[in-house]
Amino acid sequence: MAIHIRNCRLPVQTLTNIGSAELAFFMREAFLVGGWSENSNDGDPDWSAAANIVFSDLTPSPGFSVLAANPRQVTHASAPFTSAMAGRMMLALRATNDQNASMWRITEFINTSTVKVDPIGFDPNGWVDESAIPGRILDYGSAVHTTGAWTLLDAPTGNLQARVEINISNYVECYARPAGQAADPTETPGSALVQLFDDDDLSIVMNAYIDGTTALFYKYADNDGLEYMALWGELENVVTGDTNPGFVAQLHGGGDPYDWTVYMVGFGGTAQLGNVAMPRRYDTDSPQNGIFAKTNGKLLNGRPGRAVLVKPLVYMTSEFFLRGNLPGARYCNIHFESNRPMDALGAWRHTRNGRVVPMNGPLDPPLFTTGV
Amino acid sequence: MAKHYVRDVRITPTGFSQEGAMPNYSVLIYHFLRTCGFEWIWECDGNAGDNPTHIDDGNMETVGVGDWADVGTPTTKQKVTTPIRQGTQALEIVSSDTGEGVQSNGLVSTRANTDYHIAVWANNNSGANWEVWWYDGAGPLVKAGDISSDGAYQAYHFDVTTAGSGTPYIQIISGFSGSQTIHIDGIIIFESYFEYAGLHDEGTDGSITNPDQFTSPSDYTFSSSDIGRYVCVYDSTNPTNSGCYEITGESAGTVTLDLKSTTGTLTTQASLAFRVIDLDSASVPVSTNMENWIRSVGWGLESPHASGWRVFFRHSLENGQTNKAIIVWAAPEDTEYDYETGTFLDSGPSTQRGYDDPYDFDGTGNLHCWAGGYDATVAYGQRFFLMMEDDFSFFTFVQYSSDPSPSHGVFFVGYTGADPYNTGIMEFDLCCRSDFSTANMLSWANTNAWGRDIVTFAPDGHAAPGLLAQLGYGVSSSGIFNQAGNIANPFSSEEWLVPIHTTRYGEGESPEGSFKPWSIGMYQSRSNITDMTTFDSEQYMHFDLGLVWAWNGYDLT
């Protein structure tokens, strides 16, 4: 399954690390919606507190329902909704159909059995009739965890595990265990930290794309440049015998669009390695300008030709070999228009400065910013 | 798609005139392509400078018929706009009796006692032969051959020889009584350095016997004197048989070919097209045996590929007569060209039809070339490799120099593989250089390297500049392909290869630019693979600096 989560504005926080706590809580739920499963957590009661998980029907009994004829509208026969949820809480549906599976802000309270979800996050293709959908209602504004609380999630297939930890410095720390718990994870202190947002972002608008073992979390920032991305997955195009190509990677703040830092287990089997996804040079002005050269490129203008869209290639920095391609992300010339599709099919979206993320078709609305 | 290769032809040039072995390899390329079925469309000997065809109005584009005297009293002698082969007009001759026709002006700048070749493009729909007659300067006037009535334009070829003195000319006259009509649209006269000189013999009954034996049952009788010559052979059934091989032994009319491989063997096959050629410097147009090196010899061929793409090579010399080069121009289809200069007309796409400056084919500015910069004091040995697609959609070659300061030549012309974003002629590239004052063509990024001066084609058919998109440049910390210590993937011991990509500049009516991945078996690898080695079970060949070709499973000696 491939799901898109859009425009999930986490409530404004004022305490130093509460943003980190609510983001970790959001990420766990997104993983779960995307088909991952929780292996374990640190036992912090806030992972299951009723203040955070306001309503849960995972059996389901009777489950949530959606109808194509009623866009954005979600119903539940047990009348779990309240007017206080609108504008604050999130609804996460673990639906069978990808168009119904996602997480949204509840934006409109209709009655205790019916609400409407955010139109920006709503799948542009609409609902597919489905009932008995497992799901939960969550209040991230209450998600206060102890610093150091963590959750460990299993990918739907393969060995990859993702570990998300709340950090006192207001980071979410992201780790991967490419070979599961049987081999060294990438979480040796200090060397594998993936920082998903910074202290200035007390209000975060999160987006995610989860497709099997690939899980991308990102926020769009069109003006401050602090556009962090965290990506879990397994490298594509690895050779036979490379049985644990799982990784976690970070694209940091305002850095170059190819400047992913990738953490995974190397050929040696035990070492954790910092890796660089390297750029291809697509200049059109001079050899030195790299992908920064101007191509005057506005896309989808009806002319034949191919926009630069590069699949990052991962180089094992300590072991000196090229290993595979990152799934779930691309990069392009930095001069392309921001927040615009890269192709007519709407498969990829240029966020800004050359960064490219999966797009949910040509009608997928533009991303919202953090508003800073 | 299967590939055909010329594998490791090694030549040490004589003299130190900065030619490397380019003239020798130009002859090799010409004959190998001809053996593969490329069509001859142009050749010049360069002796007449700007008009190497030796004949006035050879392209039939001069207004009027002042360059054509009457022979007898032809009914009509005029320029017409239809039917033409190319350009804007043709010469129409209508005779009323046998022997009537036209006579050329005296030929220009011919050499005494020299063999020449005449090519006439004619449309004879009269039902009877017309004739080409030759005056060698001393006489008598003799018949060179017939132009048969074939009902459409085609090339007719004649061999002639000049006398010790006097000015030669040609006549084209009717060979039959009554009113006969012929249209002439192109005459080239040249002292051949490619189609005839350098070609020892040719045939179509070449027979290969495993592992390395070659003979010709009837077209040619090999002898011990052929040792040292080369055999160009084309085998569509067994592409690994194709190549250009040095003859190293002979016994009873069967020769032994040097395969330059310890593992490669030829597959037994009969009825193959072949040419026996001389590549020694006495037989090829090196500067020391050319009357005029500036604007010198050249050839033009048309590919058997469905597009009919065309390529021209013309040897030249930069001002100051130092660095040698071979100027190259090409067209992605059968674009019309001027018979006199061989340069393309603007009626169709070519590398000479761009947005900006006019093309400068005599070696000082806007051009593309296979360049030298070869050492002027030492004759370093050269190794030559050529790869051609089975459907003739492209060929590429590497000239690898043993010069410790290498001046490798790398060249590509043709279609780079299907790409839905770059269709038709946008798949066509010419990769070489735009300047021949510096060495080291094999580079991915340096100015004037083959990766820097690509001719691409924009959607509107204009030629547009481009370059090879590179890995590992642009950001110093990310120079992955050049990084010391790089190894093959330890999980498989195989190399990671990246298909070559072209980036087209945004220009003119296509300001967006574009990029294009190639899908024809040419790659970039890490640069520290050992030079000139095959790898991954001989499925790939690394030349230098990360340039890799798909290979045919044979190792190299």
In B418-481, at which residue ranges do the beta strands (DSSP E only) sit? 428-432, 453-457, 463-471
Q: Give every CB contact of residue A233 below 8 A, 6+ residues apart in sequence.
A: A160, A213, A214, A215, A216, A246, A247, A249, A326, A327, A328
pLDDT at residue A196 in the model = 59
pLDDT at residue A298 in the model = 38
Tokens of A223: 């003006």
Contact B471 A278 (CB under 8 A): yes
Can you name the residues that pair with A73 across neighbouring β-strands?
Answer: A116
Q: State which amino acid sits at residue A33.
A: V
Q: Give every CB contact of residue B517 below 8 A, 6+ residues apart in sequence.
A: B417, B419, B499, B500, B501
Contact B475 A256 (CB under 8 A): yes
Contact B467 A283 (CB under 8 A): yes
Measured CA to CA in angstroms, residue B117 lies from A300, B48, B53, B432 at distances of: 54, 15, 10, 31
More reliable by pLDDT, B101 or B14: B101
Distance CA B231, CA B214 (A): 9
Q: What is the DSSP secondary-structure string of B443-455? A: -SSSTTSTTTEEE
User: Which percentage of chain B shows pLDDT scores above 90?
Assistant: 58
Cβ-based contacts under 8 A for chains A and B: 130
Name which of A204, A185, A202 is nearest A248 in CA terms: A185
pLDDT at residue A17 in the model = 54
Share the mean pLDDT of chain A. Answer: 82
What single DSSP character describes residue B295?
T
- Binned at pLDDT 50, 70 and 90, residue B448 comes out as low
What single DSSP character describes residue B126?
S
Which of A278, A303, A320 is nearest residue B512 as measured by Cβ atoms? A303
Question: Alpha helix (H) ranges present in chain A?
Answer: 18-33
- The yes-or-no verdict on residue B263 having pLDDT over 60 is yes
Q: Which residue from B minimizes the CA distance to A288?
A: B474
Cβ–Cβ < 8 Å for A228, A219: yes
pLDDT at residue B3 in the model = 97
Instruction: Give the closest-approach CA distance of B182 to chain A in angstroms.
Output: 45
- The yes-or-no verdict on residue A225 having pLDDT over 80 is no
Name which of B461, B29, B22 is nearest B243 in CA terms: B29
Cβ–Cβ < 8 Å for A190, A134: no
On the 0-12 / 13-18 / 19+ scale of CB atoms within 10 A, A14 is exposed
Residues of chain B contacting residue A288, judged by C-beta atoms under 8 Å apart: 473-474
On the 0-12 / 13-18 / 19+ scale of CB atoms within 10 A, B477 is exposed
More reliable by pLDDT, A181 or A118: A118
Window from B45-49, B123-127, B160-164, B248-252 with minimum mean pLDDT: B45-49
- Binned at pLDDT 50, 70 and 90, residue B348 comes out as very high
Summarize pLDDT for A177-202 with one digit per residue, the tens.
887 766 556 654 444 455 655 545 55
Question: Alpha helix (H) ranges present in B36-184?
Answer: none
Q: What is the pTM of this model?
A: 0.88
Residues of chain B contacting residue A337, judged by C-beta atoms under 8 Å apart: none
- Is residue B422 within 8 angstroms of chain A, CB to CB? yes
Summarize pLDDT for B463-487 with one digit per residue, the tens.
887 777 666 544 444 467 777 888 9
What's the number of CA atoms in the CB half-sphere (13 Å) around residue B533?
12
Summarize pLDDT for B19-61 with one digit per residue, the tens.
778 889 999 999 999 999 999 999 988 876 656 789 999 999 9
Can you name the residues that pair with B326 across neighbouring β-strands?
Answer: B315, B370
pLDDT at residue B510 in the model = 60
Which of B467, B478, B501 is nearest residue A276 as measured by Cβ atoms? B478
Summarize pLDDT for A63-101 with one digit per residue, the tens.
999 999 999 999 999 999 999 999 889 999 999 999 999
- The yes-or-no verdict on residue B95 having pLDDT over 70 is yes
Question: Could you tell me the domains of chain B?
Answer: 68-190 (2.60.120.260), 199-277 (2.40.30), 291-550 (no CATH)
Cβ–Cβ < 8 Å for B377, B515: no
- Is residue A302 within 8 angstroms of chain B, CB to CB? no
Residues of chain A contacting residue B489, judged by C-beta atoms under 8 Å apart: 239, 242, 321-323
pLDDT at residue A182 in the model = 60
Q: Which of A2-11, B40-49, B230-239 has the highest mean pLDDT?
A: B230-239
Name which of A31, A367, A289, A339 is nearest A174 in CA terms: A31
Tokens of B205: 């009954």
- The yes-or-no verdict on residue A12 having pLDDT over 70 is no
Tokens of B299: 């050839």
Contact A240 B504 (CB under 8 A): no
Distance CA A287, CA A345 (A): 31
For B162, list phi and psi in degrees, rounded to 5: -80, 160
pLDDT at residue A344 in the model = 79
Distance CA A115, CA A102 (A): 15
Q: What is the DSSP secondary-structure string of A40-92? A: EE---GGGT-TTTEEEEE-S-SS-EEE-TTSTTEEEETT----GGGTTT-EEE
Instruction: Give the closest-approach CA distance of A35 to chain B in angstroms.
Output: 30
Contact A319 B487 (CB under 8 A): yes
Question: Which of B462, B480, B524 best tests the A interface by mutation, with the highest count of A CBs <10 A?
Answer: B480
More reliable by pLDDT, B60 or B358: B60
- The yes-or-no verdict on residue A370 having pLDDT over 80 is no
Torsion of CA A154, A160, A165, A171, to 10 degrees: -130
Mean pLDDT over residues A254-273, rounded?
76
State the ipTM, two decimals: 0.86
Summarize pLDDT for B420-439 with one digit per residue, the tens.
878 899 999 998 876 655 54
- The yes-or-no verdict on residue B491 having pLDDT over 90 is yes
- Is residue B452 within 8 angstroms of chain A, CB to CB? yes
Q: Left (φ > 0), alpha (ψ -120 to 50) or beta: where does B240 sit?
A: alpha
Summarize pLDDT for A140-175 with one digit per residue, the tens.
877 777 788 899 999 999 989 998 888 766 678 888
Question: What are the extents of the domains in chain A?
Answer: 2-142, 150-358
For residue B119, how far is the Cα from the chain centroid?
18
Window from A177-186, B79-88, B222-231, B455-464 with minimum mean pLDDT: A177-186
Q: Which residue from B minimizes the CA distance to A295?
A: B512
Q: Give every CB contact of residue B140 below 8 A, 6+ residues apart in sequence.
A: none
- The yes-or-no verdict on residue B372 having pLDDT over 90 is no
Name which of B283, B248, B303, B284 is nearest B41 in CA terms: B303
Contact B472 A238 (CB under 8 A): no
